[in-house]
Structure 1
Amino acid sequence: MCITLLSTAHPAFPFILLSNRDEFLNRPTAPAHWWDAPNEHVLGGRDLQRSARGTWLGITKDGRIANLTNFRDEGEEVARNKSRGGLVTAYLATPPVSEWNDETFVKYLVDDLGIHNVGGFTLLFGELRASKEGSLPGLAAVSNRTSSAQGVRKIATKLGETHGLSNSHFGDATWPKVVHGEQLLQKAIAANVDRDEPEEKFIDSLFDVLSVDTLPRPKEDESFQTYTKQLRNSIMIPPVGGQGIISKPADKVAAADGTDTPDNGEVKVGDGIYGTQKQTVILVNTEGHVTFVERTLYDGRAQPPPADQQTTRVEFDIEGWHR
């Protein structure tokens, strides 16, 4: 049950994004990196389970960002040859000189790529630019139920907003983890501003938000399918549903990052140990400087990675930030 939290409420960082990727821990995943040509302008991790090599979160040198969370949409037929992660790639991989805007990209998704048979998802995407009199370009929110480019919801269009999203439609306030996450992010921002703490201290506090574990432990003989209903209660999901790792509190799980993951499409997923696999914090300051930090809790073998492979950190300046 992934979660995305974002805010435009910090005076020094007009865009903040936090992400937990929850998965079956044996799903092979590449750590965040600059992609190979012709997409060397894209920074993000990649799912190595499927040939589409999609991603759940990425950002480009020219400030385009996209993030996807999926959810089960009962009764909807899903095409096996389509990848929801490929929708993120479709936006990020657009050449930097492209004339596409939000409307033309949504039209491409609906009319050309086809999004109504890929399974339930919410995709946030848009350009990051300097605010102008408190206004921002904002992010578009698209789902598998979007029928046209008209009326697509935009969020983060002004300073002072905070939003959360998990494995349900955007705006679903019935998920405790989303409501709790929004509250904790707002508190972390306020504390950092009030105390005038340095960036590194702030980043640590944001990872603390992503590591909050309020998940009730499974009852004896409770099936994993039944237990999954509890996952909406906790921002971080400790390892559950397998014999390989004993479930333990989040503060005992070492946050880590980027480990080499084998390119192995034959790995069996969908059973075994499930939990928060990766955590990401993205800060963008008022001058368009990006700090992207990814921590990998578990590698493709469902084990914590070596200490020297735990954290990937990339910094760069957004091209055209003041455009």
Structure 2
Amino acid sequence: MCIGVFLWQSHPLYPFLLFLNRDEYHYRETEALRWWEDGETLGGRDLVGGGTWLGCNRHGRIAFLTNFRETSSIPDAKSRGHLPLRFLQSQKSPVEFAEEIEKEVSLYNGFNLVVAHVFSKSMIYITNRPRDGEKLVTLVSPGIHVLSNANLDSPWPKCLRLKDGFSQLLTLNQGGEFPVKTMMEEVMIDTVKDQEPELPHVYPPETEYHLSSIFVNIPRPAGSYGTRSISALTIKSLGEVCFYEKHLDQDGSWKEHTQHFVIQNQSFT
């Protein structure tokens, strides 16, 4: 379970700004934010599935993923974490990539995937669990959006809280650069939980209650589960990228990682 809030193509200095919490079992082996072996891809890595939940590359490509909350699963399903990686390492436009993925969504358990190219101003949302009457593939409009474990911009209480808090921070910090790390910590470490009537009622109420906060921490029989990393990814109008991650290490300590670079070939590639 994860949650993210992002600003897309609606600010003069920041065409893209994302805060994202990744929730996972604490024992699941994970590699912190770093450049991958190809020298082009930047992100954390799930060492079990081999993919990523959030990444970008040197050419302005962005991809991030959340699981869809559901009670059933497909035996031997393909790893969802490879979907962001495939886009980041491809030459396809977001639309072309979405058309490719649309043909194979039945091979995966429920997912939400956002892929974008910042300089073509193209962002696409792909899900294999669309609302009734809606499409698998949707163009994302400029503005503020929240993605958790239901469809994009679903009105779950914690999604509404996150959007409201993020919007207030944008208003308070108008003009010039954002204090991104401070803003991220203001909204992404929120442990407020919802009461039973407000819960999505997909899982049992006691589980839903603990998952209803933005920052999650749950003791489970299989081991501790909760927010393993908190990320901030910003891209400025001149192609300056800052990728910050606060990561829960295997020894139980929180460690910080930051990468800065400037996007190459600032056209669609």
Q: How many angstroms apart in 1 are the aligned matches of 2:124 and 2:27? A: 32
Q: How many angstroms apart in 1 are the aligned matches of 2:228 and 2:33? A: 13
Cα pair 2:157 2:194 within 8 Å, conserved: no
Sort the Cα spacing of 1:225 and 1:47 in 2 relative to 1 into closer, same or farther, 3 A.
Answer: farther
TM-score (norm 2): 0.86
1:142 corresponds to which of 117, 126, 134: 126
Q: How many angstroms apart in 2 are the aligned matches of 1:12 and 1:203? A: 17
Q: What one-letter code is carried by the residue in structure 1 that aligns with 2:249? A: D
Q: How many angstroms apart in 2 are the aligned matches of 1:103 and 1:79? A: 29
Tell me by how many angstroms 1:115 deviates.
1.8
Q: How many angstroms apart in 1 are the aligned matches of 2:215 and 2:60? A: 28
1:179 aligns with 2:160: yes
Counterpart of 2:223 in 1: which secondary structure? coil
1:103 corresponds to which of 84, 95, 103: 95
1:169 aligns with 2:170: no
Q: Deviations over 1:137-180 (max 9, x none)?
A: 2310101247xxx8721114x3xx1000101122311x111111
Q: How many angstroms apart in 1 are the aligned matches of 2:189 and 2:31? A: 21
1:5 aligns with 2:5: yes
Q: How many angstroms apart in 1 are the aligned matches of 2:32 and 2:85? A: 15
Sort the Cα spacing of 1:104 and 1:14 in 2 relative to 1 into closer, same or farther, 3 A.
Answer: closer
Tell me by how many angstroms 1:14 deviates.
2.2
TM-score (norm 1): 0.73
Tell me by how many angstroms 1:81 deviates.
5.0
Cα pair 1:72 1:119 within 8 Å, conserved: no
Tell me by how many angstroms 1:107 deviates.
2.6
Tell me by how many angstroms 1:232 deviates.
4.8
Q: What one-letter code is carried by the residue in structure 1 that aligns with 2:58? A: K
Tell me by how many angstroms 1:7 deviates.
0.8
Specify the alignment match of 1:319 in structure 2: 264
Specify the alignment match of 2:182 in structure 1: 204
Q: Deviations over 1:210-241 (max 9, x none)?
A: 11110369xxxxxx95422124531111x321
Q: What one-letter code is carried by the residue in structure 2 that aligns with 1:299? A: D
1:85 corresponds to which of 71, 75, 81: 81
Question: Larger radius of gyration, structure 1 or 2?
Answer: 1
Q: Deviations over 1:173-204 (max 9, x none)?
A: 1x11111111111111111116x5x54x3321
- Give the share of equivalent positions with the same residue, in percent: 28
Cα pair 1:26 1:299 within 8 Å, conserved: no
Counterpart of 1:273 in 2: which secondary structure? strand
Q: How many angstroms apart in 2 are the aligned matches of 1:81 and 1:178? A: 28
Counterpart of 1:312 in 2: which secondary structure? strand
Tell me by how many angstroms 1:35 deviates.
0.4
Q: How many angstroms apart in 2 are the aligned matches of 1:117 and 1:78? A: 8
Tell me by how many angstroms 1:103 deviates.
3.0
Structure 1 spans left out of the alignment, 5+ residues: 130-135, 218-223, 243-269
Tell me by how many angstroms 1:208 deviates.
1.7
Sort the Cα spacing of 1:180 and 1:109 in 2 relative to 1 into closer, same or farther, 3 A.
Answer: same
Q: How many angstroms apart in 1 are the aligned matches of 2:137 and 2:115? A: 11
Equivalenced residues, count: 257
Counterpart of 2:258 in 1: which secondary structure? strand
